[in-house]
């Protein structure tokens, strides 16, 4: 039984490495996705900004077209007024021309405000674009590192799995291995626990003395009554 425990402890050491590597293989792509999402979020903000800039510019163009038409109309009214001596007609022409000029002036004011808005948004968009370019650059380098880390971890995982398979086919009895595997799964990679001064180092519960005696006798596998981990004693030599 002492030999079984020794084998299980060796297996446990290997499994701890394996759990670490597997955890790394899960964590690395997740972290990369999280970073990618941040950049994509900035990209959609930039998209939104550019859309708003386009809208403002369209409105500016509309105002320009409208005021061009209105100016033509004013010139036409002024020409008509010059051609006639009818004072009532001249007054009417002048009245309409003044009203249109007021409209033009209001529209121009709105146009100027919009030009300012467009310029401000454009500056924001330019800054954001530069920021995104820097982030993309950083992400490319980061991503290459992650690829390398994943490659290394994957190679290590394959090695560990191979060694594990080899050990599994060694002298440990199948029913013991089954117990071990179940615990490994339930206790996230820690199936074994050292008993130190009657305290289980897996869950820090003090076990009854008779359990200690059974374990010291070395004729059977003893589980912690609290966390169920397979107990072993510290090396005495």
Residues that bind Zn ion (CB under 5 A): 200, 202-203, 224, 226-227
Q: How far is the CB of 199 from Zn ion (least distance, A)?
A: 9
If the CB atoms of residues 92 and 203 are measured against Zn ion, the closer one turns out to be 203
If the CB atoms of residues 26 and 182 are measured against Zn ion, the closer one turns out to be 182
Q: How do 230-232 and 199-200 pair as beta strands?
A: unpaired
If the CB atoms of residues 93 and 232 are measured against Zn ion, the closer one turns out to be 232
If the CB atoms of residues 220 and 237 are measured against Zn ion, the closer one turns out to be 220
144 CB burial (10 A radius; 0-12, 13-18, 19+): exposed
If the CB atoms of residues 177 and 207 are measured against Zn ion, the closer one turns out to be 207
Q: How far is the CB of 18 from Zn ion (least distance, A)?
A: 22
If you write DSSP's letter for every residue of the chain in order, what string do you get?
-HHHHHHHHHHHHHHHHHHHHHHHHHHHHHHHHHHHHHHHHHHHHHHHHHHHHHHHHHHHHHHHHHHHHHHHHHHHHHHHHHH---HHHHHHHHHHHHHHHHHHHHHHHHHHHHHHHHHHHHHHHHHHHHHHHHHHHHHHHHHHHHHHHHHHHHHHHHHHHHHHHHHHTSSS-HHHHHHHHHHHHHTTT--EEEEETTEETTT-PBPPHHHHHHHHHTSS--B-TTT-PEEEPPP--
Q: How far is the CB of 209 from Zn ion (least distance, A)?
A: 16
Q: How far apart are CA 16 and CA 131, in angstroms?
A: 41
Q: How far is the CB of 37 from Zn ion (least distance, A)?
A: 40
If the CB atoms of residues 16 and 24 are measured against Zn ion, the closer one turns out to be 16
If the CB atoms of residues 200 and 215 are measured against Zn ion, the closer one turns out to be 200
């Amino acid at each position: 039984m002492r030999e079984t425990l020794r084998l299980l402890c060796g297996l446990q050491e290997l499994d701890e490495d394996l759990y670490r590597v597997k955890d790394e293989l899960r964590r690395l792509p997740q972290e990369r996705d999280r970073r990618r999402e941040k950049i994509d979020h900035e990209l959609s903000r930039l998209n939104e900004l550019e859309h708003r800039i386009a809208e403002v510019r369209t409105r500016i163009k509309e105002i320009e077209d409208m005021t061009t038409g209105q100016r033509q109309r004013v010139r036409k009214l002024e020409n008509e007024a010059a051609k006639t001596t009818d004072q009532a007609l001249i007054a009417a022409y002048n009245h309409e021309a003044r009203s249109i000029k007021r409209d033009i002036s209001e529209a121009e004011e709105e146009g100027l405000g919009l030009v300012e808005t467009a310029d401000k948004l454009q500056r924001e968009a330019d800054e954001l674009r530069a920021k995104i370019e820097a982030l993309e650059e950083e992400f490319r380098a980061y991503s290459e590192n992650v690829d390398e880390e994943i490659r290394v971890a994957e190679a290590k995982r394959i090695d560990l799995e191979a060694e594990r398979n080899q050990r599994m086919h060694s002298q440990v009895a199948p029913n013991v291995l089954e117990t071990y595997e179940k615990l490994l799964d339930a206790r996230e990679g820690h199936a074994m626990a050292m008993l130190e001064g009657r305290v289980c180092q897996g869950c820090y519960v003090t076990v009854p003395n008779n359990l200690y005696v059974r374990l010291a006798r070395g004729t059977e596998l003893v589980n912690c009554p609290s966390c169920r981990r397979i107990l072993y004693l510290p090396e005495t030599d």
